[in-house]
């Protein structure tokens, strides 16, 4: 799917900033922080950039992932389930890469009476395959 198709599917105008952000996330296999998305270029002013992130998130084009240190990364929402994207994420503690995990995610919990669940955020912390292979000794993982 192209950037233009993604924006059209979500009924958003095809602005330069939206195209840039969606394009960057479409090319990247990993989630990106605001700083990583901006890069070293000053193509867009700060206000335009942050408003665009907010608009894309509100329309479900992208979603945010908040890590344990409160760092926020953004990823393209590839599949929508109702109004929420229900999946987990993997954060490599060595290279800082964050990936959306595919497959069914099942989160069952019993909420107190009167409580209503809207979203569930799960981030699995660990070491990615690339960092694990590059280590002198492979880290043991329970499977």
* Confidence at 116, pLDDT banded by 50, 70, 90: confident
pLDDT attached to residue 3: 95
Nearest to 123 by CA among 62, 80, 75, 81: 75
pLDDT attached to residue 104: 61
Question: What domains are defined for the chain?
Answer: 3-134 (1.10.10.10)
Lowest mean pLDDT among 17-21, 70-74, 86-90, 125-129: 86-90
Nearest 5°: the CA angle 103, 29, 117 is 45
Residue 51 CB contacts under 8 Å (≥ 6 apart), including other chains: none
pLDDT attached to residue 103: 67
Q: Dig out the tokens for 76 from the structure.
A: 């393209």
Nearest to 77 by CA among 56, 93, 98, 103: 56
* Confidence at 17, pLDDT banded by 50, 70, 90: very high
Q: Quick check: pTM over 0.85?
A: no
Question: What proportion of the chain, given as a percentage, has pLDDT over 70?
Answer: 83
Please provide residue 22's backbone torsions phi and psi, each rounded to the nearest 5 degrees: -65, -40
pLDDT attached to residue 139: 57
* E strand map for the chain: 32-33, 62-66, 72-76, 88-92, 98-100, 122-126
Whole-Å CA distances, 8 to 1, 14, 27, 29, 91:
11, 8, 18, 22, 31
């Amino acid at each position: 799917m192209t950037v233009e198709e993604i924006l059209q599917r979500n009924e958003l105008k095809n602005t330069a900033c939206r195209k840039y952000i969606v394009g960057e996330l479409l090319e990247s296999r990993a989630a990106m922080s605001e700083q990583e998305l901006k890069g070293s270029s000053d193509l867009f002013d700060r206000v335009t950039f942050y408003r665009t992130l907010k608009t894309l998130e509100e329309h479900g084009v992208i979603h945010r992932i908040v890590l344990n240190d409160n760092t926020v990364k953004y990823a393209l929402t590839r599949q929508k389930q109702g109004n929420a994207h229900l999946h987990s994420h993997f954060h490599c503690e060595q290279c800082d890469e964050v990936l959306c995990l595919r497959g069914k995610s099942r989160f069952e919990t019993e909420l107190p009476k009167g409580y209503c669940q809207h979203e569930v955020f799960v981030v699995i912390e660990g070491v990615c395959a690339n960092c694990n292979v590059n280590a002198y000794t492979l880290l043991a993982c329970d499977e």
